Amino acid sequence: MADILVYSEKRDTALELTYQAKEFAGALGLGVSAVAFGPTSGEVAPELAALGADTVYVSDDPALEGLQTDVVAEALAQVAGAAKATCVLVGSTRRGKELASRLAQKLGAGCVTDVSSMAVEDGVLVAGRYAFGGNTVARENVTTAVKVFAVMPKAFEIGAPLAGAGTVVTAALTLTPSAVKVVDRRPKEGESVDLSAAARIVGMGRGFGKREDLALGEQLAAALRAEIGATKGLSDFQWVSEDRIIGLSGAKTSPELYVSVGISGQIQHTVGISSAKLIVAINKDKDAAIFQLADYGIVGDLYEVLPALIEKLKA
Amino acid sequence: MALSPGRIRGPVPDGVRRARAYVAQADAGYLNDARGDASVKIVVCVKTNPDLQMVRIKNREPVLEAVPYKVGDLDKNAIEAAIQLRDAAGEGTIVALSVAEGNRKIKETLKEVLAMGADEAVVVADPALVSADPGAVALAIAKAVLQSGGCDLLLFGEGSTDNYSGQVGSRTAELLGLPQIGYARTITIGGAGVQVERGMDDVTETLEAPLPAAVTVVSEINEPRIPSLMNIMKAGKKPVTEYTLADLGLDPAAVAPQRDILSNLAEEQDRKRIMLQGKAAEQAEALANALIKEGVLER
């Protein structure tokens, strides 16, 4: 039987995609194979099997060390061959996006990256992704025999484990180590944050006049027990770190609550928040585009509104 | 896509043989092996995009009429990075390479990157590329790189300004059998090849690859220069080589679409759009109450 093949170097994303692949596979009459690479593959494999993979291919081949794109793509191409995969789902992380593209080229496949939604329509997988700088959502299907999709983390939810877990097999791979060598690898400087997983976010924009004023936004975030996010503009000023950028060139978030402060609402930013359950906007310009996207809007000076709000929340 | 494999010069590592054969062609020579030249040659791929600030939405459809075109934002970072690498090396050549369905709109944008400091331009222009997918663009780039004498370093922006699909760099690297490093925020050439520092989802890495290699850059890498009037005038005199697909030995079937775009519409947002009135303290109170009511603020 032909299979949907699932891979992500991020455990949670691999689990989400595997669970969702089971549903797609049911609608398309396919099986599900999942892949886990590296030293932790043995731990992740049973979870993937329990969430819907009929077969989980694992490998801790030394050539996979460092997860260089060329080698991982070759490994996945070999597994895709073994699993007779007609569709490959990869997590659209930085590594995953690169990987999906190289893999697609190996397989002669069309590919859609940064997929934010996906469904089976009339027996065909249709992927949604932002286009034209976030102005639109393109719905695309891939017409090649093998199809590759890089799906954004948290596009789907992880469901409950299923009865009758699949089997785990060691993938038979023939790999050559990458010419790319890791000279140094270290955790990101400063605290690193994964905004795509944050439940509440306070987003700050150019409405903040000085770097010191961001303390107000941070106090609001503390009162809401929220993470801090920002527009690309603030990161360009180096007022916040790169991993706090939300939008087209940063995190795509889906929090319960997004509070935007001093953000005008350019599409390059708002594509990163459109999946938020509830959006609050605070901006002094009543015509700011952000209010079109907000559930609750406050037209006002953030230097007056934020202290009042922080006081209220602490009360 | 059916392409007949041709002869390849130089040793071909296992695992890339098939991919390289895919684009290799008789008498082309392979990338920098064939150049026999000490100076660095950098090919920078640039895409011409509609200026998205000027795109209007009408009945949920993007209106592209009368929208001006411009060089991709990250492509300018890639050009700037190439200029700095060439200057650091002391000598070298920067080739701006662009692929499009016609040469009219890319002529102007190529002039901009030539004015920035690229030494020459290579254009693949063919009507068959009108709705080219990333795979087709990568194929045209790979062929054009081989046809125009190879390179030491192939640079890309991490993604295009309009679609940000981020596929072309990876696909081209695969076609040419090159090691690839994405998301560079610093690049240096020397010693063992190219060294890149990059920030990934959770770690910062320094990587090294032998040349030739493919590298994509992010916006943090530099601040692209704005060309002087003098350099803009000079840009018109820099050499531009044009290829059609036929010149590269490609037929239109080789660049056929690999996807169908079923629709491309502005998103409909179903939001409450409740504006909270009054002075700051009243607005704050109303918001706190609303958040409690919505169940996002437990109280």
For the four alpha carbons of B54, B57, B63 and B64, in that order, the dihedral sign comes to positive
Let me know if residue B90 belongs to a domain: yes
> How confident is the model over A226-237, as pLDDT tens digits?
999 999 888 777
* Residue A250 confidence (pLDDT): 82
Let me know if residue B6 belongs to a domain: no
Let me know if residue B260 belongs to a domain: no
Q: Which of B134, B219, B271 sits opposite A249 (nearest CB)?
A: B219
- From CA A85, how far away is CA A72, in angstroms rounded? 16
**Tokens coding A308:** 């009042």
Give yes or no on whether A3-170 and A195-314 have one common fold: yes
Q: Give residue A152's identity as a one-letter amino acid code.
A: M
More confident call, A207 vs B29 = A207
In CATH, which of 3.40.50.1220, 3.40.50.1820, 3.40.50.2000, 3.40.980.10 is domain A195-314?
3.40.50.1220
Q: Which of A233-242, B23-32, B230-239, B290-299 has maximum average pLDDT? A: B230-239
B210–A293 C-beta distance less than 8 A? no
Residues spanned by the domain of B280: 269-299
The residue count of chain B comes to 299
Let me know if residue B2 belongs to a domain: no
CA distance B244 to chain A (A): 22
Residues of B in contact with A180 (CB under 8 A): 179-181, 207-209, 213
Residue B292: phi and psi, rounded to 5, are -65, -45
Radius of gyration of chain B from its Cα atoms, rounded to whole angstroms = 23
B19–A137 C-beta distance less than 8 A? no
B206–A187 C-beta distance less than 8 A? no
Is residue A74 predicted with pLDDT exceeding 50? yes
Residue of B nearest to A298 (CA): B276
Answer yes or no: do B246 and B279 share one domain: no
More confident call, B44 vs B299 = B44
More confident call, B75 vs B297 = B75
> How confident is the model over B272-281, as pLDDT tens digits?
999 999 999 9
Instruction: Give the total number of structural domains in chain B.
Output: 2
What CATH number was assigned to the domain covering residues A3-170?
A: 3.40.50.620
Answer yes or no: do B247 and B291 share one domain: no
Residues of B in contact with A186 (CB under 8 A): 203-204
> Can you tell me whether residue A138 is helix, strand or coil?
strand
B133–A110 C-beta distance less than 8 A? yes
Q: How far is CA A37 from CA A16, A58, A87, B13, B221, in A?
A: 17, 6, 19, 23, 31
Indicate the pTM of the whole model.
0.85
Let me know if residue B113 belongs to a domain: yes
The β-bridge relationship of strands B193-199 and B180-190 is antiparallel
pLDDT average, residue stretch B82-97:
94
> Can you tell me whether residue A206 is helix, strand or coil?
coil
pLDDT average, residue stretch A189-209:
87
Residue of B nearest to A75 (CA): B15
Answer yes or no: do B140 and B224 share one domain: yes
**Tokens coding A263:** 């953000």
Is residue B201 predicted with pLDDT exceeding 80? no
* Residue A233 confidence (pLDDT): 82
Is residue A293 predicted with pLDDT exceeding 50? yes
Domain ranges for chain A: 3-170, 195-314
Q: How far is CA A72 from CA A102, A178, A188, B129, in A?
A: 9, 9, 23, 30
Answer yes or no: do B131 and B21 share one domain: yes
Is residue B50 predicted with pLDDT exceeding 90? no
pLDDT average, residue stretch A216-223:
95
- From CA A266, how far away is CA A136, in angstroms rounded? 13
Answer yes or no: do B136 and B278 share one domain: no
More confident call, B6 vs A213 = A213
- From CA A180, how far away is CA B207, in angstroms rounded? 7
A105–B174 C-beta distance less than 8 A? yes
pLDDT average, residue stretch A95-100:
96
Answer yes or no: do B229 and B111 share one domain: yes
Helix (H) or strand (E) holding B287: helix B280-293
pLDDT average, residue stretch A274-298:
94
Query: What percentage of residues in chain A have a pLDDT greater than 70?
Result: 99
> How confident is the model over B245-267, as pLDDT tens digits?
999 999 999 999 999 999 999 88
End-to-end Cα, chain B, rounded Å: 62
CA distance B44 to chain A (A): 18
- Cβ atoms of A59 and A41 within 8 Å: the answer is yes
The DSSP call for residue A39 is T
Answer yes or no: do B190 and B167 share one domain: yes
Question: Is any Cβ of chain A less than 8 angstroms from the Cβ of B208?
Answer: yes
Answer yes or no: do B275 and B162 share one domain: no
Let me know if residue B4 belongs to a domain: no
Is residue B176 predicted with pLDDT exceeding 50? yes
Let me know if residue B3 belongs to a domain: no
A110–B259 C-beta distance less than 8 A? yes
Contacts 24+ apart (CB under 8 A), A120-126: A120/A24, A120/A27, A120/A28, A123/A27, A123/A28, A125/A24, A125/A28, A125/A87, A125/A149, A126/B262
ipTM for the assembly: 0.84
Name beta bridge partners: B209. Answer: B194
* Residue B15 confidence (pLDDT): 32
Is residue A143 predicted with pLDDT exceeding 90? yes
Answer yes or no: do B170 and B212 share one domain: yes
End-to-end Cα, chain A, rounded Å: 61
Answer yes or no: do B293 and B202 share one domain: no
Answer yes or no: do B288 and B209 share one domain: no
Is residue A9 predicted with pLDDT exceeding 50? yes
Answer yes or no: do B281 and B143 share one domain: no
